Structure 1
Amino acid sequence: METTPFNLIKLIGKRWRYGLLSLLVATGLVVGTPQVAQGFSFFDVLFRGVQVFQLSNMSDEQEVKLGKQINQQLIENEITLSRDGQLNAYVDRIGQRIVPHSDRRNIPYTFQVVQDDSINAFATMGGFVYINTGLMATAENESELASVIAHEIGHISGRHAVQQMKQRAIAQGLLSAAGLDESNAVQIGVELAVSRPNSREDELEADQKGLDSLTKAGYAPIGMVTFMEKLQQQGGSPPSFLSTHPATGDRITALKAQINNPTQGDGLNAQVYQRRTQALR
């Protein structure tokens, strides 16, 4: 006789039949939805122990766990981390100085230097921030570098990667009634880290949050403006760090309107910065 879920019930004692039957009925309701058919079934969750994320109310613990997995995939397949201990320690020191002044200081943050000459920086969920050596070499002082780090912390504070993951999962038909399974979440997280599809609203919010935390951390806020101006004035196509909407000029104008004392604070000594980043020269 073919073994089916309902034949299986007959083989089980009476005391368990009604509980199992209820579970199977509930499972049928979930599996019967079109979204689940495109993603994964409830049986996967039940019998394979698949981790499922509800993106609308993902906890900090879940986000950090997912961020660690995305980070591991990035390191193994997409990026090369710098082995210079001093550069990594320097970036981490700046980042950890800013974190206590952000809107989201209750999760651990990891700051890493990527060995890449392109002018880039990005962040993934769970507190992971990446700064390219090319961007560090382009910055003139610590305030400019700190402004980029603060901006990326702003993306994490705004939970932009989580919202982007939800949008991408819906577009790819991977979001089920139960949520998004772990393997798909990691894959999408890596895709987002590589493509960095931040919207106009996300960029403006990250600028605002970044400027606020940068200033509260004691850095001169002018660094955020001068760094963007420096990149805007470079010939050829704009660096990918700024290849997003809104236009860089609009972002600079918005930042200037928010700054009261542009040179009040730390990080404007170019000579000190040159010494601390000597390995890049």
Structure 2
Amino acid sequence: MMINWNRFLASYRLWRRYCLYPLIFLSVTLTLCLSTLQPTRAIDLLPLLFQGSQILQLSNISELQEVELGKQMNDELHQEVRISRNQQLTSYVEQIGKRLAANSDRPNIPYTFQVVEDEAVNAFATVGGFLYINTGLLKTADNEAELASVIGHEIGHIGGKHLVKQMRQRAIATGVATAVGLDRNKAVGIGVDLALNRPLSRQDEYDADARGLRTLTRAGYSPSAMVSFMKKLQGRSSVPSFLSTHPGASDRVKALQRQIDLQRSKSNFGLDNAAYKANIRAFLQ
């Protein structure tokens, strides 16, 4: 039987290209990896390959990773704060929050709105759409638009990924970030501490105010409510954490008023004080 050398050579070249060369590359790669490790450490190679899924690059974190990180932080926060089990109250806050989220800069991520049983006038957000509103703030707001203005501000922090940026800065400053990124569990711990104990920067607060005001207006609420609520809190002896940073509340009120004047919105939606107060009293009985 005569051999068709042209067909044989063509088959050999294909085999060499798709089988032989990849095998040689894999062999060399494994040799180099194992040679750089101590003999007693060679067995750690496999776990190292799987640990990659637990490392986050906060500088370019994906939306899916951010939401998952937010879920883990939420689990930790449930150990630190008392989440309300009042379904009527939570549903009311969710209704307002979802209306705002749909008109925000990041409407495509899932948002989770929770009420914290705490008389302090406060609210905060973490990452991936998780927001927390204290019962003390719900009682202090005069109307739905004022409550919506605070929720809009916190959605603005999520829109600007402000906590993610602060977490990255903390990780670098404390030396826990490595060349490949930050361990997810360490990221959760840093994020929870920052959310509960550290005010955001001047630039971030102005940015969240501007984003929140746009969201509030797009959702149809009266933008004047954001100014009225800030003014109300200025004279209090205990200033909420979202107003306790520099810039001061008075500077932020001026900046917001300038933006409202440019918008020239005539909406009065959400300013019904009596209806809001009646709802909150009924929910908190």
What TM-score range do you get, normalising by the shorter chain? 0.7 to 0.9
Cα offset, 1:44, TM superposition:
5.9
Partner of 2:31: 21
Pick from 187, 190, 194 the counterpart of residue 188 of structure 1. 190
After superposition, residues 28-107 of structure 1 pair within 5 angstroms as 45-46=48-49, 48=51, 51-75=54-78, 77-107=79-109
Question: Normalising by structure 2, what TM-score?
Answer: 0.83
Moved more, 178-187 or 149-158: 178-187
For structure 1, list consecutive stretches of 5 or more residues without a partner in the other structure.
1-12, 29-40
The one-letter code sitting in structure 2 at the alignment partner of 1:270 is N
Alpha-carbon displacement from aligned partner over 1:51-93 (angstroms, at most 9, x marks no partner): 1101111000000000000000000x21001111111001100
Residue 273 in structure 1 maps to residue 283 in structure 2: no
In the other structure, the counterpart of 2:141 is 139
Q: Residues 16 and 211 of structure 1: is their aligned pair in 2 closer, same or farther, counting only changes over 3 Å?
A: closer
For residue 254 of structure 1, what is the amino acid of its counterpart? A
Which blocks of at least 5 consecutive residues in structure 2 are unaligned? 1-22, 39-43
Task: Tell me, yes or no, if structure 1 residue 206 matches structure 2 residue 213.
Answer: no
Structure 1 pair 25–213 and aligned structure 2 pair: CA distance change class (3 A): farther
Equivalent residue for 1:35? none
**RMSD of aligned Cα (Å):** 2.3
| Cα pair 1:50 1:181 within 8 Å, conserved | no
Per-residue deviation, residues 84-119 of structure 1 (Å, max 9, x unmatched): 111100110001001121111111000000000001
Instruction: State whether residues 125 and 158 of structure 2, in contact with CA within 8 Å, keep that contact through their aligned partners in structure 1.
Output: yes
Q: Quick one: distance in 1 between partners of 2:265 and 2:26?
A: 70
For residue 113 of structure 2, what is the aligned residue in structure 1? 111
Aligned length: 255
CA distance in 2, matches of 1:123, 1:147: 14
Q: Secondary structure at the match of 2:113?
A: strand
Superposed CA offset, 1:132-177 (max 9, x none): 0000100000000000000000000000011001001011101111
Q: 1:246 to 1:154 in 2, by over 3 A?
A: same
Question: Aligned-pair distance for 1:49?
Answer: 5.8
The structural deviation recorded for 1:238 is 2.1
Structure 1 or 2, whichever has the larger Rg, is 2
Distance 2:35 2:225 in 1: 60
After TM superposition, the runs of 4+ consecutive aligned structure 1 residues lying more than 3 A away are 13-17, 22-28, 41-45, 47-50, 260-263
Check whether the contact 1:50–1:182 (CA below 8 A) recurs between aligned residues. Answer: no
Aligned to 1:223, which of 206, 222, 225?
225
* Cα distance in 1, alignment partners of residues 229 and 37 from structure 2: 54
Sequence identity of aligned pairs in percent? 54
Closer, same or farther in 2 for the Cα pair 1:138/1:15, shift >3 Å?
closer
Distance (whole Å) between structure 1 residues aligned to residue 33 and residue 258 of structure 2: 58
